[in-house]
Amino acid sequence: MGKYKNLSAASALGMNGEQKKCVGKFESAEEEPDGNNDGSGECKSEIILEEDWHASYRNSLKNIDDLSRFVSISEEDKPLLKQVIKTFHTRIPLYYLSLIKDLNDIDSPIRRQCIPSIEEIKGEIHEKIDPLGEEKTSPAPCLVHRYPDRALLLVTGRCFMYCRHCTRKRLWRSRIPEPTLKDIDLALSYVRQNRQIREVIVSGGDPLTLPTEKIDYILSSVSEIKNVEVIRIGTRAPVVLPQRIEGNLCKVLEKYENLWINTQFNHPDEITPQAILACKKLQRCGIVLSNQSVLLKGVNDNAKIMLELCQKLQAIRVRPYYLYQCDPVVGAHHFRTSILRGIDILENMRGHTSGMCIPTFVVDGIDGKGKIPISPNYLLSASPEGLTLRNYKNETFFYYNPKE
């Protein structure tokens, strides 16, 4: 297997606006197994990182031929992967690609999240295209209303990167039309009429792919609704295209004092200087950042990695909020682990690090049943007299109830 000597592309991206190049090279012609080599011993892979987010977004990799300029893909796999991306298309920002330490390592946790796999078109029973039943709980265009006091506004089906494990693969599978401003206005009039809704989650797709003016329009329309106390944006921009967090966007976001942002770091290698800077810029706007990881086989399904990820997040003031069990969505079965794996991970975190580093592990109930928190069992028995409890060292003790 050819060894890719990529200079750390992430560290090559200037923090102050300049464009830098990062060039990858195969060590020898014999080592390149897939016929992608032109015989000169060099893979024509050159990762150019651009500071301008529009250019980075435009220049993302979207097809298998482009992808194979950077990553070795066997001739046998190419037609199959072309079939995969007809169903679930692909977009990978070069920045995110540059985080892969060895581009030929098919088990790389970064590669697994962004590069399509033929596993995606191998159907499994129990999988659904809309596992959370979002379409059934949609009372207005692009709006999901599942819990009494909050609603989800899906403002776009586009993302900076199409994460291979995404629960909303249905939105980008068939290139359904983007919601119009009229759709969004209709959704917001539903929120206005349902006064118990106090929180609107602006999601998608990734809302930050929209033009900044449109984001401003949406946020100001939501914030004008009297019953809405909190607005939350879900975005992977700090993780996959941190260049997006630029001055104009920050000027818009800082206007909304009730705005929270949730992002999705899944692996410690995603916490780069660029990602940290993006988070800092958002925090300087007064925004509280939280993280919702997804438990993914071969990416973060062990306690050591999850502990490192959560400690690094805490150090940059991004609160580890949720660890999601990967949903049974069509095209993502190869990422799913047993729920017991998640419990085991939490068991190995609790007590070994600060409680602020420990996310709540949740399973999203099929067909809109809602989130169910799951944790290791520390309560062994209970009676009016008291409880038998277990601590993180597996020591048990009796805890007397006060007399009532």
Active site residues: 146-147, 150, 159, 163, 166, 168, 327, 364, 371
Distance (Å, whole) CA 246 – CA 204: 20
Q: Does 364 bind ligand SF4 (CB under 6 A)?
A: no
Q: How far is the CB of 178 from ligand SF4 (least distance, A)?
A: 14
CA angle 326, 126, 173 (to 5 degrees): 65
The strands making up 386-390's β-sheet, listed across from edge to edge, are 379-382, 386-390, 396-400
Stretch that binds ligand SF4, among 114-122, 147-155, 199-207, 283-291 (CB under 6 A): 199-207
Stretch that binds ligand SF4, among 47-55, 142-150, 160-168, 353-361 (CB under 6 A): 160-168
Q: Report the residue from 71, 103, 132, 159 that binds ligand SF4 according to the rule CB under 6 A.
A: 159
For residue 260 the two structure tokens come to: 């929270």
Q: Does 157 bind ligand SF4 (CB under 6 A)?
A: no
Closer residue to ligand SF4 (CB): 26 or 88: 88
Q: How far is the CB of 159 from ligand SF4 (least distance, A)?
A: 3
Q: How far is the CB of 208 from ligand SF4 (least distance, A)?
A: 10
Q: Does 205 bind ligand SF4 (CB under 6 A)?
A: yes
Distance (Å, whole) CA 208 – CA 96: 16
| 105 closest CA partner among 6, 239, 237 | 6
Q: How far is the CB of 308 from ligand SF4 (least distance, A)?
A: 21
Stretch that binds ligand SF4, among 58-66, 204-212, 224-232, 389-397 (CB under 6 A): 204-212
Closer residue to ligand SF4 (CB): 152 or 228: 152
Find the Cα–Cα–Cα–Cα dihedral 82, 98, 315, 353, rounded to 10°: 60
Closer residue to ligand SF4 (CB): 4 or 158: 158
Distance (Å, whole) CA 396 – CA 376: 14
# of chain residues touching ligand SF4 (CB under 6 A): 9
Q: Does 327 bind ligand SF4 (CB under 6 A)?
A: no
Q: How far is the CB of 205 from ligand SF4 (least distance, A)?
A: 6
Q: Does 162 bind ligand SF4 (CB under 6 A)?
A: yes
Q: Does 333 bind ligand SF4 (CB under 6 A)?
A: no
Distance (Å, whole) CA 272 – CA 269: 7
Strands 46-49 and 386-390, sheet pairing:
unpaired
DSSP state of 110: H
The residue assigned the tokens 């060895």 is: 102
Stretch that binds ligand SF4, among 18-26, 156-164, 343-351, 366-374 (CB under 6 A): 156-164
Q: Report the residue from 32, 134, 199, 206 that binds ligand SF4 according to the rule CB under 6 A.
A: 206
Helices in 286-362 by DSSP H: which ranges?
A: 303-315, 339-347
Q: Does 336 bind ligand SF4 (CB under 6 A)?
A: no
Closer residue to ligand SF4 (CB): 71 or 326: 326
The residue assigned the tokens 């592309």 is: 9
Q: Report the residue from 103, 166, 210, 245 that binds ligand SF4 according to the rule CB under 6 A.
A: 166
Strands 318-325 and 259-263, sheet pairing:
unpaired
- Burial (CB < 10 A; 0-12, 13-18, 19+), residue 379, is exposed
Using alpha carbons, list the distances in angstroms from residue 43 to 70, 115, 305. 7, 18, 31
- The residues in 215-244 that bind ligand SF4, with binding defined as CB under 6 A, are 236
- The residues in 17-56 that bind ligand SF4, with binding defined as CB under 6 A, are none
Q: How far is the CB of 293 from ligand SF4 (least distance, A)?
A: 11
Q: How far is the CB of 384 from ligand SF4 (least distance, A)?
A: 47
Q: Does 163 bind ligand SF4 (CB under 6 A)?
A: yes
Q: Does 267 bind ligand SF4 (CB under 6 A)?
A: no
Distance (Å, whole) CA 47 – CA 105: 17
| 134 closest CA partner among 143, 123, 125 | 143
Distance (Å, whole) CA 354 – CA 366: 32
Specify the 3-state DSSP secondary structure of 102.
coil
Distance (Å, whole) CA 288 – CA 162: 25
State yes or no: cis peptide before 205, omega within 30 of 0: yes
Q: Does 296 bind ligand SF4 (CB under 6 A)?
A: no
> Applying CB under 6 A, which residues contact ligand SF4?
159, 162-163, 166, 168, 204-206, 236
